[in-house]
Amino acid sequence: MSAVELGMPSLPHGLQGVPAATEPQNRKEYVSDQEVRWCPGCGDYAVLAAFQGFLPELGIKRENVAMVSGIGCSSRFPYYLSTYGMHSIHGRAPAIATGLATARPDLSVWVVTGDGDALSIGGNHLIHTLRRNVNLKILLFNNRIYGLTKGQYSPTSEPGKVTKSTPMGSVDNPFNPVSLALGAEATFVARTVDSDRKHLTSVLRAAAEHRGTAFVEIYQNCPIFNDNAFEAFKDPETRDDAIIPLVHGEPIRFGTDGHLGVVRDGFASLAVREVADLPGGESDLVVHDAHTEDPAYAFALSRLTDGGVLHQAPIGVFRSVDRPAYDDLVRQQITTAQEAQGPGDLQSLVTGADTWTVN
């Protein structure tokens, strides 16, 4: 076996290949006729509203948007959007969307999934999709609980979580979804919060424009089974010290009056410090560069997320780098083969080289 130089002259960028809308669109056009069925107060409502508001600004034809979801409360999302959609089976949406995106370069394909859907039953598909860098956008609604099945702990629940299936507390260590995605060398990784529409929309916009897999973790509140899991990021009292804002090109500084900042700390590690304690003050802070090739930097950032109950976590785009998308390369090989050998002649293929004729 040998490796070949893939040679990728001019691969498409962003939404290239998806037909543009001929007329301006509005939010209402993206609202389907189905009654929304989430519990009152569910964080999914806010995400849906933000998404419906954001889609028109993409400026692509509505019929060229395809939503693929798995199973879970959040996976009902496609029903509420007047785009093409598939509500598939538990955990498999990334695999299904891979086939769709590979077959159809003219679609903007979105995957909607939950923490159980993406990280438990569908963990394998998730990491391989990220590894391949298929051109699709994954929205992971992380409520740190199994909502649809009524409240069992999930692979993102904090250790010691007491639920119906873990009456004495869960004993397993959770995944940090952003760390996991970065471990799979995802090319676009971001985190946002359901209630911050402006931030959510800005992340969705960046994700949509990314060629390749964009992975977006959305902290989503489930008021029924895991209420206030993200309260630290919402409560005006605590949020300034809780949100570590990632803004490309800016020093990572936060907290009331900017008293906290992120500095390099030992081998490939980052830490939060009081800016006042730093010898160089702000100049000692890390300036966020989402385009850093080495995923170790973004990974170090992701480790600033609390492992247990959340008090502090980075929010924003951790990583955004260019790497050819799987489906673009697959299509390119087909084009190359057709250019080199001409379109296939099936009759000569089935005939082959060794024949004999009986008269």
Ligand X SMILES: Cc1ncc(C[n+]2csc(CCOP(=O)(O)OP(=O)(O)O)c2C)c(N)n1
The binding site for ligand SF4 (CB under 6 A) comprises: 38-39, 42, 44, 73, 143, 147, 222-225
* Comparison of 115 and 194: residue with beta carbon closer to Mg ion: 115
Determine phi and psi for 211, rounding to 5 degrees: -90, 120
Sequential DSSP letters for 161-216: --BTTBTT---SPPP-HHHHHHHTT-SEEEEEETT-HHHHHHHHHHHHH-SS-EEE
* Comparison of 175 and 254: residue with beta carbon closer to another protein: 175
Strands (E), 48-176: 65-69, 84-87, 108-114, 137-142
Is 329 a binder of another protein (CB under 8 A)?
no
Residue 42 partner contact from another protein, ligand X, ligand SF4, none using kind-dependent CB cut-offs of 5 to 8 Å: ligand SF4
Please state, as a whole number, how many other Cβ atoms lie within 10 Å of the Cβ of residue 312: 18
Give dist(CA 343, CA 337) in Å, integer.
Answer: 8
Residue 71 partner contact from ligand X, ligand SF4, Mg ion, none using kind-dependent CB cut-offs of 5 to 8 Å: ligand X
Burial bucket for residue 150 (CB in 10 Å: 0-12, 13-18, 19+): exposed
* Comparison of 113 and 332: residue with beta carbon closer to Mg ion: 113
Write out the binding residues for ligand X, residues 117-136 only, by CB under 6 A: 117
Determine the longest span between alpha carbons in the chain, in angstroms. Answer: 96
Alpha carbon 14 to its chain's center: 15
Rounded to a whole number of angstroms, the minimum distance from the CB of residue 80 to another protein is: 9
Is 90 a binder of ligand X (CB under 6 A)?
yes
Residue 69 partner contact from Mg ion, ligand SF4, ligand X, none using kind-dependent CB cut-offs of 5 to 8 Å: none
Is 158 a binder of Mg ion (CB under 5 A)?
no
Is 97 a binder of ligand X (CB under 6 A)?
no
Write out the binding residues for ligand X, residues 56-85 only, by CB under 6 A: 71-74
Rounded to a whole number of angstroms, the minimum distance from the CB of residue 41 to ligand X is: 14
Give dist(CA 25, CA 289) in Å, integer.
Answer: 34
| b/e map 317-352, b = 16+ CB within 10 Å | bbbbbebbbbbbeebbeeeeeeeeeeeeeeeeeeee
Which member of 43, 78, 147, 212 binds ligand X (CB under 6 A)? 147
Q: Are 213 and 130 in contact (CB under 8 A)?
A: yes
Determine phi and psi for 249, rounding to 5 degrees: 90, 0
Is 148 a binder of ligand X (CB under 6 A)?
yes
Residue 283 partner contact from ligand SF4, ligand X, another protein, none using kind-dependent CB cut-offs of 5 to 8 Å: none
Is 4 a binder of another protein (CB under 8 A)?
no
Residue 310 partner contact from another protein, ligand X, Mg ion, none using kind-dependent CB cut-offs of 5 to 8 Å: none
Give dist(CA 168, CA 154) in Å, integer.
Answer: 15
As given in the structure block, the two tokens for residue 192 are: 């946002």
> What is the pattern of x (binds another protein, CB under 8 A) and - over residues 165-204?
----------------------------------------
Is 115 a binder of ligand X (CB under 6 A)?
yes
Rounded to a whole number of angstroms, the minimum distance from the CB of residue 146 to ligand X is: 4
Residues contacting residue 46 through CB under 8 Å, at least 6 positions apart: 194, 195, 197, 200
* Comparison of 95 and 301: residue with beta carbon closer to another protein: 95
Alpha carbon 215 to its chain's center: 2
Is 88 a binder of another protein (CB under 8 A)?
yes
Instruction: Return the SS3 of 33.
Output: coil
Applying CB under 5 A, the residues found at the interface with Mg ion are: 114-115, 143
The site for ligand X (CB under 6 A) is made up of 71-74, 90, 114-117, 141, 143, 145-149, 154
Residues of this chain that interact with another protein (CB under 8 A) are 19, 32, 34, 61-64, 66-68, 71, 78-79, 81-89, 92, 95-104, 106-107, 124-125, 128, 330-331, 333-334, 336-338, 340-344, 346-347, 349-352, 354-359
